[in-house]
């Protein structure tokens, strides 16, 4: 035991250091660092405008919290903002090792867990409803409650749709790659890994091939979202494999941002996959499939409604998962600490 431990606990940093407080959680093993205090107020009337303000003026905070030495190459985070719409409880901006994303299912699940169990919203049993504005739209999440504890979380995602079925692109070594392109809050290229002899245990190769496919398609395909130009880019590559558990539908490994590997099955990714499976008549309305992640955590996903987004046929997916709270942190950013501003190492 340290002597004079109270001196350590009471120590305050110099006034010029920025202090940021967070709650950390994980969803199926995928981390989430939620900023709860210390982030500057963001200007803008919409979540997308606030996200742009974060990019232009406060990106140094993202780098400090997501990258080493406070984070790592696969860290993920969220900034809580006032809501954009009257029906939402709050807004969320998602961030990662390479910038800011448009949607994130694992973060929705983890944030719901945090807000309910830490008393940031009123708890109603057996189900507490939370609505959050995110860059891709408004998400409604439902926390199943037993004895004031969150047992599971489901959320109704934004309309999801297929952009391309049976597309083809070329990458070095592997040659021609077939893919489906779909939107589930972000755009994903979905590739059956069994067709390209990709070993899911060779993580470095999974990242390399995923980034090659992503960059090739981004250079080949002009992506145009029906409503929002800021979503006109391919966010990640999802490789599908046979499941380890025969009771599950399949296995997902998602490579996104600057080569991040999602430890969860990827909430927006399984939503994009649900749109593809529905378009191919491989699942029916309200049919639930269970998808594994790289570490065998699972999400349940189903199509609960058909809809339209612009002129496109779309579906409304529902995703179910669980999350855990793992820490409360106070971070200090010393403006004179060069390496403490964040660095990327894979």
DSSP letter string over 92-109? EEEEETTEEES--HHHHH
Q: Which helix (H) or strand (E) holds 328?
A: strand 324-333
Catalytic residue among 88, 104, 323, 333: 104
Q: Catalytic residue at 104?
A: yes
DSSP state of 73: T
List the structure tokens of 36: 């709860």
Residue 215, SS3?
helix
Q: Which helix (H) or strand (E) holds 212?
A: helix 203-220
CA 278 to chain centre: 22
Nearest to 102 by CA among 5, 229, 261, 276: 229
Nearest to 156 by CA among 137, 140, 136, 132: 140
Residues 6+ apart with CB under 8 A from 305: 285, 315, 316
Residues annotated as part of the active site: 104
């Amino acid at each position: 035991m340290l002597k004079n431990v109270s001196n350590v606990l009471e120590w305050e940093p110099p006034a010029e250091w920025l202090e940021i407080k967070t709650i950390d959680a994980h969803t199926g093993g995928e981390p989430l660092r939620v900023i709860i205090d210390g982030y500057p107020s963001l200007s803008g009337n919409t979540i997308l405008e606030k996200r742009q303000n974060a990019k232009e003026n406060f990106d140094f905070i993202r780098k400090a919290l997501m990258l080493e030495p406070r984070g790592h190459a696969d860290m993920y985070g969220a900034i809580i903002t006032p809501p954009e719409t009257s029906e939402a409880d709050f807004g969320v901006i998602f961030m990662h090792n390479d910038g800011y994303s448009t949607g994130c299912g694992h973060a929705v699940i983890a944030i719901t867990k945090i807000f309910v169990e830490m008393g940031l919203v009123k708890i109603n049993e057996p189900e507490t409803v939370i609505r959050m504005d995110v860059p891709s739209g408004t998400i409604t999440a439902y926390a199943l409650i037993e004895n004031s504890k969150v047992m599971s979380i489901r959320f109704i995602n934004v309309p999801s749709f297929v952009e391309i079925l049976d597309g083809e692109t070329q990458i070095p070594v592997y040659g021609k790659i077939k893919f489906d392109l779909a939107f589930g809050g972000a755009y994903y290229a979905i590739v059956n890994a069994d067709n390209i002899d990709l070993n899911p245990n060779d993580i470095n190769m999974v990242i390399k091939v995923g980034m090659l496919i992503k960059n090739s398609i981004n250079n080949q395909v002009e992506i145009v979202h029906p409503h929002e130009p800021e979503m006109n880019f391919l966010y990640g590559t999802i490789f599908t494999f046979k499941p380890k558990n025969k009771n599950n539908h399949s296995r997902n490994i998602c490579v996104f941002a600057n080569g991040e590997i999602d430890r969860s099955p990827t909430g927006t990714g399984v939503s994009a996959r649900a749109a593809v499976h529905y378009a191919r008549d491989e699942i029916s309305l309200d049919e639930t499939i269970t998808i594994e992640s790289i570490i065998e955590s699972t999400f349940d996903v189903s199509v609960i409604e058909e809809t339209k987004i612009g002129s496109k046929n779309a579906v409304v997916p529902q995703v179910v998962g669980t999350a855990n709270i793992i820490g409360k942190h106070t971070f200090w950013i010393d403006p004179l600490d060069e390496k403490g501003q964040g660095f990327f190492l894979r």
